[in-house]
Amino acid sequence: MPKYGKKQQAALSKVDRLSRYSFQDAAKLVIELAHAKFDESVDIAVNLGVDPRHADQMVRGTCALPHGTGNVVRVAVFAKGEKVREALEAGADVAGGDDLAEKIQAGFLDFDKAVATPDMMGTVGKLGKLLGPRGLMPNAKLGTVTFEVATAVKELKAGKIDFRVEKSGIVHAPMGKVSFGQDKLLQNVAAFFDVIQRLKPATAKGSYIKAICLSSTMGPGVKIDPTLVKDLRELAA
């Protein structure tokens, strides 16, 4: 059995593990029970009724959270010529072509997201063993392989997230910080579920959204009634 500190035990005692809360009550509880000395992140876990072993049931996408994640996102852009300037003016932390690739091969990995223009993917592909395991590989399906580098950089800086269902059928995603307050967190959650529902595979059978859990970095998970997803838009308005 894991050992919990006094603050963690106190927080756990205030959550009914058998209950399924409303989104409002869950957000309120998560905020109230956050006890760390730093501004804790708030994350959501959603168990989907899909089988990721089948390609046609793979749920993967991006979501522009209206209030961002609260985290500083460092963006690297692989581009040539004028596109390098566009990326830097849009807020990219580093941008370049072969010079950036050489820098990464030498050990530079001080960035959280990577964007590449299509004509740079030959160079970026050679960095797959370095970028892939860290989730830093640009991907056209996620909007990070594009000539519209300024737009991509601004979206990532503003809090655009990407997510992918795990083998167990669970999707994890950041929803913001405790300091956001209930309303902003709910608006982010509503935007996320709007995307999740639009990505429902046609071949998925039975209940699509089976379980939901909201939690802060150090706080206990609070289970949410999945049947209330339909009311999210009104709650977050």
Mean predicted confidence (pLDDT) in 103-123:
96
According to CATH, what is the number of the domain 75-158?
3.40.50.790
What band does 171 get if pLDDT is binned at 50, 70 and 90? Answer: very high
Binned at pLDDT 50, 70 and 90, residue 8 comes out as low
Widest CA span of the chain, in angstroms? 58
pLDDT (tens digit per residue) in 151-164? 999 999 998 999 99
Q: What is the pLDDT of residues 214-234, one digit of tens each?
A: 999 988 899 999 999 988 877
The identity of residue 34, as a single letter, is A
Q: Tell me what pLDDT residue 232 has.
A: 85
- Percentage above 70 pLDDT, the chain: 92
Comparing CA positions, the residue from 133, 88, 131, 136 lying closest to residue 112 is 136
pTM of the model: 0.85
- Read off the tokens for 138: 């640009």
| pLDDT attached to residue 1 | 45
E strands, the chain, in order: 41-48, 60-64, 75-78, 94-96, 113-116, 160-164, 170-177, 209-216, 222-224
Kindly tell me if the per-residue pLDDT of 237 is higher than 60.
no
Measuring CA to CA, how many Å separate 166 from each of 47, 52, 146, 181, 235? 10, 7, 26, 29, 28
pLDDT tens string 54-101: 999 999 999 999 999 999 999 999 999 999 999 999 999 999 999 999
pLDDT confidence tier of residue 9, bands split at 50, 70 and 90: low
| Cα distance between residue 227 and residue 39, in whole Å | 30
Domain boundaries, the chain: 6-69+160-236, 75-158
Over the stretch 125-160, which tens digit does the pLDDT of each residue have? 999 999 999 999 999 989 999 999 999 999 999 989
| pLDDT tens per residue, range 16-66 | 778 899 999 999 999 999 888 999 999 999 999 999 999 999 999 999 999
Predicted local confidence at residue 10, as pLDDT: 63
Using CA atoms, how far apart are residues 6 and 33, in angstroms rounded to an integer? Answer: 12
CATH number belonging to domain 6-69+160-236: 3.30.190.20
